[in-house]
Chains A and B, each alone.
Chain A
Amino acid sequence: MLRAGALVVVGGAAVPLTGCDLFDRGDDKPPPPDPLEPLAAEAAELAARHRAAIAADPALADPLTPIADAHQAHADELRRVIGRPLPSGASSGTPSGDADPADPLPGLREAERAGRDNAAKACATAPAERAALLGSIAAARATHLEVLK
């Protein structure tokens, strides 16, 4: 009888534990970050840098607005492909580093060049379903560099 009673107690304790696994997702470890997270953050930052340059010098609006919009479209599309909201604490596109207000173009060129190389690298190793999007982003950044020449 004692053994049977002990079994009941153990069984009773096991049920809430199972319930915890099933329903309390808060105890799970977060999934590993998507490999496209850095590229999505970079796209948002590039959009913000171009917008900051336009704000500092409205004469740059004509050439830079389509580029800023393209980066924003890339960020949105990458976010959609990643399929998760922006990780908490992540920057939502605040420019990092101070752009030279006198001439922001050399800094933007350097950022586009680095961005193009990062997107090309991501495209090279991406699964098939992401390759076309990443290829378009790499090619777009190369054309931005051409515009900023």
Chain B
Amino acid sequence: MIPRTAPAGPAEALAAALTAEYAAIWAYGVIGVRLAEAARTAARAAEAAHRSRRDALILQLSSGGGQVPADRAGYALPYPVTDRASALKLAVEVEERTAGFWRAALPHTTGTDRNRALAALTDCALRATRWRRTAGVTPLTVPFPGRPV
């Protein structure tokens, strides 16, 4: 699920991160309805965070005159999300996957853009850790967040 081919340049790397953010936002729609109370609130907050990354990326890519990939109408789920356990599993995977795209953007960016990509990678890794804690999955962390396995 983590990008297997390295992006060719900064615009490609950020466009790929944008497609990952689209997919994450879509996934949280599926995830949120299977969760209750604090977990549902956390899913809403996570979705809002991905929306704000998406908006920033669209602005950045369009002001740079580059191609802005469009969102898709829907995405294929890796497995059916039918209950709390499968929703939390998907939430962890979505965050790890999105972290991978932001990590792949790091070598292609410098200065403010790189710091922004690192902040996004870190936020994804933190949410993955919190979702593991909610799901009761251990260990709570991975040694190299976003690194292809």
What is A's interface to B at a CB cutoff of 8 Å?
A: 62-63, 66-67, 69-70, 73-74, 77, 120, 123-124, 128-129, 131-140, 142-144, 146-147
Contact = CB atoms under 8 A, between A and B. Distances in A.
- Residue with the highest number of chain B CB atoms closer than 10 Å, among A69, A74, A135, A144: A135
Given A120-B122, A133-B144, 8 more contacts: A120-B115, A135-B117, A135-B118, A137-B144, A140-B145, A142-B122, A143-B125, A146-B140
B104 interface: yes
B114 A70 contact: no
Interface residues of B, number: 31
A129 B106 CA distance: 9
A142 B99 CA distance: 13
Given A62-B138, A131-B106, A139 B122 contact: yes
B106 A123 contact: yes
The B contact surface, by secondary structure, is helix
A118 B111 CA distance: 16
Interface string B112-128: 00110110011011101
Given A124-B115, A128-B108, A140 B142 contact: yes
B114 A139 contact: no
Contact of B118 (A67, A69, A120, A147): A120
Interface of B: 99, 102-104, 106-109, 111, 114-115, 117-118, 121-122, 124-126, 128-130, 138-147
Given A74-B143, A124-B115, A139 B121 contact: yes
B45 to A, nearest CB: 15
Nearest to B107: A128
Contacts of B107: 128-129, 131-132
Nearest to B102: A135
9 contacts: A66-B138, A123-B114, A131-B114, A132-B107, A135-B146, A136-B121, A138-B122, A143-B125, A143-B129
Contacts of A144: 141
Nearest to A71: B143
A1 B94 CA distance: 87
Given A131-B107, A135-B106, A143 B126 contact: yes
A81 B121 CA distance: 21
Contacts of B130: 146
